[in-house]
Amino acid sequence: MASKLRGFENRDGITLVAPVTLVVAAIIVVPIVWTVVLSFQDARYVDVARNGLFNEVTLENYANVLTAPAFWQSLLTTVEYSVATTVGSITVGLVAALAFRDRFRFRAPLRAVMLLPYVAPVVATTFVWQVALNPQYGVVNAIGTQMLGWEHPVNFLASAPTALLTVIVYDIWRYFPFAFLFLGAALTGLSREIEEAAVVDGATPLQKFWFVVLPQLLPTVALLVLFRMVMAFNEFEDVYLLTGGAAGTQVASVRVFEQLTGSSDIGGASATAAVMAVFLGVALAFYLRLTARQREA
């Protein structure tokens, strides 16, 4: 009897999960596998249309990817961009979460407002930033030249060092609410007793933060770092919409996009994507090892 129920459980479980799994498999897993296969072929759109998956096998794509200086440059850009936005958005989110920790008037509505950059459509917010930063009619340059005495308007999104910096600032603006949300939830979960004990022992507010609050937040921070790093490493829309990958902002996924749409080099694009995924996988494994002790504690 028990084993019969167990059998049904197995059957029912698989039936209920099957549709979701099929969709994810068809739309996500199969394309990923396909990408890996294509990365070993010298394939352009015409070849894929004619021969499907069965083109000549070659390692040429990988050789091309690994010997192209532009690839290493875009890898470096991706790493700089990911680290800067991750550290920036989490730090800013933490400051915001601490400022919002104690009750004040309008805390709930203001907290909701703070999440707007994260929930608003990326196309709309990047467009607003583009207009605001425009050298001819943007408000930022108008303030700079008319009130702050800049000699020339700055073309934030089209010249080399500022473009990447601007994209990073934009993404800190867009993603700090995410860290704010999670760190805020973690802060509410903390018991106040330990902090009160520290205060009784004469800890200053900064000591209390550094020695009592922060260590308790570290598991959440570690999780956020992981999450944000993966997302930032694969980020496409924000960079593409703001700069189109110009002026030193060609992160890896924008490069993949350009290989696909510009030169329709599917094999090369797939190889670039595969190398990036391996790189990310190695970095993640390293990070998980590094934080393993902390997560067990």
Partner 1 sequence: MSAVTVQGSVLRVLRVVVIVAFVLATVLPFVYMLSLSFVRIDDLLREPLRVLPALDRITTETYREVLASEEDGGYGFARFMRNSAVVAVSASALTVALVVPASYALTRLRFAGRTQISWLFLAVYLFPTIIIAVPVFVGFQVLGLGSSLVGLVIAYVALTVPVSVHMLRNYLAGIPESIDEAAVIDGASRFQILTRITVPLAMPTIMSTALYSFMIAWNEFLFALLFLSAKQDLWTVSLGLTRLADGQEVSKTVLMAGSVLLTVPIVILYGIAERALTEGLTAGADKG
Subset of 106-165 contacting partner 1 (CB under 8 A):
110, 112-117, 119-125, 127-132, 136-139, 141-143, 146-147
- Using the rule CB under 8 A, is 263 a contact of partner 1? no
Calpha distance 26→61 (Å, rounded) = 26
Binding segment toward partner 1, per CB under 8 A, in 56-64, 159-167, 263-271, 286-294: 263-271
Applying CB under 8 A, what is the total number of residues that bind partner 1?
97
Task: State the sign of the Cα–Cα–Cα–Cα dihedral 130, 132, 137, 142.
Answer: negative
CB of 75 to partner 1, least distance (A): 13
Site string for partner 1, 187-206 (x = CB under 8 A): -xx------------xxxxx
* Residues 134/161, Cβ–Cβ less than 8 Å: no
Q: Out of 1, 2, 3, 19, name the contact with partner 1 by CB under 8 A.
A: 19
CB of 72 to partner 1, least distance (A): 18
Q: Out of 62, 260, 287, 291, name the contact with partner 1 by CB under 8 A.
A: 260
Q: Which residues of 216-251 are buried (b: 16+ CB within 10 A; e: fewer)?
A: ebeebbbebbebbbbebbbbeebbbbbbebebbbbb
- Phi–psi pair at 41, nearest 5 degrees: -125, 150
Q: Out of 175, 243, 253, 265, name the contact with partner 1 by CB under 8 A.
A: 253
Burial of 266 (0-12, 13-18, 19+ CB in 10 A): buried
Residues 40-99 that bind partner 1 (CB under 8 A): 48, 95-96, 99
CB of 273 to partner 1, least distance (A): 4
Residues 204-233 that bind partner 1 (CB under 8 A): 204-206, 219-220, 223, 230-231, 233
The percent helix, strand, coil of the chain (3-state, each to 5) is: 80, 0, 20
First to last CA, the chain: 42
